[in-house]
Structure 1
Amino acid sequence: MTDVGESPPVRRLSEWDAAELRPLAGEYGTPLYVLDLERVRQNYRRLEAAFPDADVLYAVKANALGDVLSTLHEAGAGLECASAGEVQRALAAGAPGSEIHYTAVNPPAGDLDWIVDAWADHPDLTVTAGSTDTIDRLADRGYDGRLCLRVNPGIGAGHHEKVETGAAAKFGVPAERAVDVLVDAADRGFDVVGIHAHVGSGVSSKQRDAHREFVARMGDLARDVAGAVGGLKFVDIGGGFGVPYREDETPLDLESVADATRDALGELDATVTIEPGRYVVADAGVLLTTVNTVKDARETTVAGVDAGLTTLLRPAMYDAYHPIRNLTADVSERGSSRERTPQTVAGPICESGDVFCTARELPRSERGDLLAIGNAGAYGYEMATQYNTRPRPASVVLDDGDVRPARRRETIADVLRPEREALPSASADRKTDHDRATDTDNEYDR
């Protein structure tokens, strides 16, 4: 197990062992997510070392794979959950209620019902509410346990405007109203334990000043709230620590960020809590995909692959950059690197946005080549969909030399099953030839 001092601050796609990845595609098929659990541990230990006095809660939404959650729980991390389903995953991974925060954003009724029922068995569970309406809905269900208030500090940052949460009206109670809201909650019998805010996702070194201002506002607010309600257990400043997706980007200076955070918060009689997600898992994962079509277009060569925006949504949704490496060209029988040409790597979805890169210089692709897409450990499978009736991919994990399947590949029958099960039983006698075909194994069954 690598010591944090020996662990590089970022794992580049070029550093993955092609000889280890290629057989995985042969055994499990593509598209395939591959996640290295030892890298997950290294990233967590780096955070723990930079913030030795803070509680580190992993943001489950970044990658909710059970192997990831159990690995981080065993390493000492708590788990921050954005839905009742994620809380179920956290409990299944072995985390006690005392190490789980449920951060509700406009929670559906079913979520709140489940959470309040779970609270009966896990009274140390913390619920974070982002509105007075949510607090009322909790009270209506008989909840008066540990309550944290999500506040809106009025300042945001992140890698894209869609993930800058700190100033978005959707998130949290305006900071200037927080004291009154929490005093009222305490008067109603809630156990007020903390305040929470999240500036955004993928914060880079260039946005350090914005992050520092955000943290300073949280420190000032925490002192005001503590004075009004008689103290706080913690101040949660969220996560958002960015990772370098581009090959020429430098990694975040985590120690410097930690020092600036402590300085900006000032004196607090409360524990600082951070909620990293992307930082822990992004560079621990790659997506393997196979080239199935090569086409020379007017200004570029199009390499069509079997992964698409249904597999990895970030490029289409955020115009996000992911490094791409041709693992087959690395060992081409020609004995030398193939000519590099401008290529557009595109998926099979009937959308013009279904591309992983446009006119990027890559070794010229050939049908059957295996490509690796880097930094796919965060918000990859979690955002995968079944659009175009496409089954979601499989996942495998690497763990200290061991390789094991972590999630089987869906089949078309899996995609159709909820629809079938909603039909009256009498319709079973009226199956079409297509229905019968998709009841059995098909090309997606591996």
Structure 2
Amino acid sequence: MTDAAASLSVRRLTEWDAAELQALTAEYGSPLYVLDLERVRQNYRRLEAAFSDADILYAVKANALGDVLSTLREAGAGLECASAGEVQRALEAGASGSEIHYTAVNPPAGDLDWIVDAWADHPELTVTAGSEDTIDRLADRGYTGRLCLRVNPGIGAGHHEKVRTGAAAKFGVPAERAVDVLADAADRGFDVVGIHAHVGSGVSSDQLEAHREFVARMGDLARAVADAVGTLEFVDVGGGFGVPYREDEDPLDLESVADATRDAIGEIDAELAIEPGRYFVADAGVLLTEVNTVKDARETTVAGVDAGMTTLIRPAMYDAYHPIRNLTAAGDDGRERLPQTVAGPICESGDVFCTERELPVSKRGDILAIGNAGAYGYEMANQYNSRPRPASIVLEDGDVRLARRRETVDDVTRAEREARNASDSSPLASANRKNDHGRASDTDND
């Protein structure tokens, strides 16, 4: 990365070295995720400077690669985890219990079993509950540790209706019931330490008023909880800081966001906590894919590539825009440009990365780069159509390292073969009849 790129608040796709990315594809194959760990650090330092008085956690769900978790933890971030699996990844990355918040939604029984077991070894772990039922389930398992309550503030914002969590019934206890719920939890012996809410993902500059109103409600709630229950350790207002995916979009003014957050929350006797995910990793990653088919259709020219909605689902799921660059044509000024549809190999009409995007004429063997792929890229990859997931590499201090090997078809079918080879009476078969952590349900011991 150049010094100029490092100083920018967003890294555009054009700032990646085309020749270097093509060389990586030649060595590691396609499709391929590439993540620049130094850019992750730079994004953290920029946010840390703006929110100098806040406790910063990284929302692991954005990109759970162990290298990312280690990089951000070493930079000073805590880790906010949405599942037992993410907590295990955090511990494997070297995090202590005090650096981890477990914030699950409708957690499966096996998750809670695993978390309570982990709490025995890591008593500083914080568990965030999003319902009274979850608190009851924790109590049933003997958990009396650090408890944070996720509240529903009734305000949502974000880049798509599917990620506007602040007003969705699925998330959190209604704010108007929070004081009573926390008072009851304290009476039952829980160590009540905080309140939490998240307005949504990908909040843009034109949605900052909704963010301000949401934070103000959290400040009011924090003061009410303090009066009724006692002083809180922290008030977590989530993350959701958007990044510019389109080339003509401006980045968030983080200093203004931080100032507005402090003003809106008001005086509270608790630490402000935030938990961005996308902001740290989105522009630190690209997805590389090879053109394998070019055809003139009735209304468009289709450039068929070996990545698809199983590799990067955001365009299909959210109608999300990602910048696309033909790396092979980067040094060929003579290539004509024309509108093209870039489509993957999945048997779905929605398996397209763009439609009628003006790009240099595609040729078989060209390498395309899809930008801003560091967040919710590999994390949402899947094996639909029995397609193996891609490899991931990381860049750090001039070195290149394979961080996750490419799956094979053998990997895709392994679980079925193991099931066939196991007898019904074997421990493996018995475990698979239950959930991931060996418990069938919360009603087993009723």
> What TM-score do you get using the length of structure 1 for normalisation?
0.93
Q: For residue 387 of structure 1, what is the aligned residue in structure 2?
A: 384
Shift of 1:299: 1.8
Q: Deviations over 1:330-364 (max 9, x none)?
A: 123xxx24111000000000000000000010001
Distance (whole Å) between structure 2 residues aligned to residue 123 and residue 7 of structure 1: 40
2:50, 2:258 within 8 Å by CA — same for their partners in 1? Answer: yes
Greater shift, 276-285 or 19-28, is seen at 19-28
2:388, 2:408 within 8 Å by CA — same for their partners in 1? Answer: yes
Change in Cα spacing, 1:256 to 1:343, as seen in structure 2 (3 Å) is: same
Distance (whole Å) between structure 1 residues aligned to residue 309 and residue 357 of structure 2: 18
2:6, 2:39 within 8 Å by CA — same for their partners in 1? Answer: no
SS of the residue corresponding to residue 88 of structure 2 reads helix
1:260 aligns with 2:257: no
Shift of 1:90: 0.3
Q: For residue 282 of structure 1, what is the aligned residue in structure 2?
A: 282
Shift of 1:424: 3.5
1:3, 1:42 within 8 Å by CA — same for their partners in 2? Answer: no
Shift of 1:7: 2.1
Shift of 1:300: 1.1
Query: Which ranges in structure 2 are unaligned for 5 or more consecutive residues?
Result: 424-446
Letter aligned with residue 295 of structure 1: K
Distance (whole Å) between structure 2 residues aligned to residue 188 and residue 230 of structure 1: 15
1:344 aligns with 2:344: no
Letter aligned with residue 420 of structure 1: R
1:4, 1:46 within 8 Å by CA — same for their partners in 2? Answer: no
Q: For residue 21 of structure 2, what is the aligned residue in structure 1?
A: 21
SS of the residue corresponding to residue 420 of structure 2 reads coil
SS of the residue corresponding to residue 148 of structure 2 reads strand
SS of the residue corresponding to residue 279 of structure 2 reads helix
Please point out which of 398, 406, 410 is paired with 1:409: 406
1:367 aligns with 2:364: yes
Distance (whole Å) between structure 2 residues aligned to residue 3 and residue 268 of structure 1: 40
Q: For residue 439 of structure 1, what is the aligned residue in structure 2?
A: none
Distance (whole Å) between structure 2 residues aligned to residue 56 and residue 311 of structure 1: 29
SS of the residue corresponding to residue 422 of structure 1 reads helix
Distance (whole Å) between structure 1 residues aligned to residue 68 and residue 257 of structure 2: 25
SS of the residue corresponding to residue 356 of structure 1 reads strand
Greater shift, 350-359 or 417-426, is seen at 417-426
Q: For residue 353 of structure 2, what is the aligned residue in structure 1?
A: 356
SS of the residue corresponding to residue 372 of structure 1 reads strand
2:392, 2:405 within 8 Å by CA — same for their partners in 1? Answer: yes
Q: For residue 226 of structure 2, what is the aligned residue in structure 1?
A: 226
Residues matched between the structures, number: 424
Distance (whole Å) between structure 2 residues aligned to residue 6 and residue 17 of structure 1: 14
Change in Cα spacing, 1:45 to 1:3, as seen in structure 2 (3 Å) is: farther
1:4, 1:45 within 8 Å by CA — same for their partners in 2? Answer: no
Distance (whole Å) between structure 1 residues aligned to residue 421 and residue 294 of structure 2: 45
Shift of 1:227: 1.0
Distance (whole Å) between structure 1 residues aligned to residue 329 and residue 51 of structure 2: 42
SS of the residue corresponding to residue 342 of structure 1 reads strand
Q: For residue 10 of structure 1, what is the aligned residue in structure 2?
A: 10
Identity %: 85
Q: Deviations over 1:363-410 (max 9, x none)?
A: 010000000000000000000000000000000000021101000000
Distance (whole Å) between structure 1 residues aligned to residue 166 and residue 189 of structure 2: 28
Letter aligned with residue 140 of structure 1: D
Query: Which ranges in structure 1 are unaligned for 5 or more consecutive residues?
Result: 427-446
Letter aligned with residue 90 of structure 1: A
Letter aligned with residue 378 of structure 1: A
Distance (whole Å) between structure 2 residues aligned to residue 425 and residue 146 of structure 1: 41
Distance (whole Å) between structure 2 residues aligned to residue 378 and residue 416 of structure 1: 27
Q: Deviations over 1:63-115 (max 9, x none)?
A: 00000000011111000000000000000000100010000100000000000
SS of the residue corresponding to residue 423 of structure 1 reads helix
SS of the residue corresponding to residue 150 of structure 2 reads strand
Distance (whole Å) between structure 1 residues aligned to residue 103 and residue 368 of structure 2: 37
Distance (whole Å) between structure 1 residues aligned to residue 119 and residue 78 of structure 2: 17
Distance (whole Å) between structure 1 residues aligned to residue 421 and residue 254 of structure 2: 57
1:293, 1:304 within 8 Å by CA — same for their partners in 2? Answer: yes
Change in Cα spacing, 1:181 to 1:204, as seen in structure 2 (3 Å) is: same
Distance (whole Å) between structure 2 residues aligned to residue 70 and residue 363 of structure 1: 39
Letter aligned with residue 211 of structure 1: H
1:53 aligns with 2:50: no
Shift of 1:6: 5.9
Distance (whole Å) between structure 2 residues aligned to residue 4 and residue 193 of structure 1: 42
Letter aligned with residue 174 of structure 1: P
Q: CA RMSD in A?
A: 1.5
SS of the residue corresponding to residue 377 of structure 1 reads coil
Distance (whole Å) between structure 2 residues aligned to residue 273 and residue 13 of structure 1: 31
Letter aligned with residue 204 of structure 1: S
Distance (whole Å) between structure 1 residues aligned to residue 221 and residue 139 of structure 2: 25
Letter aligned with residue 270 of structure 1: A
1:419 aligns with 2:394: no
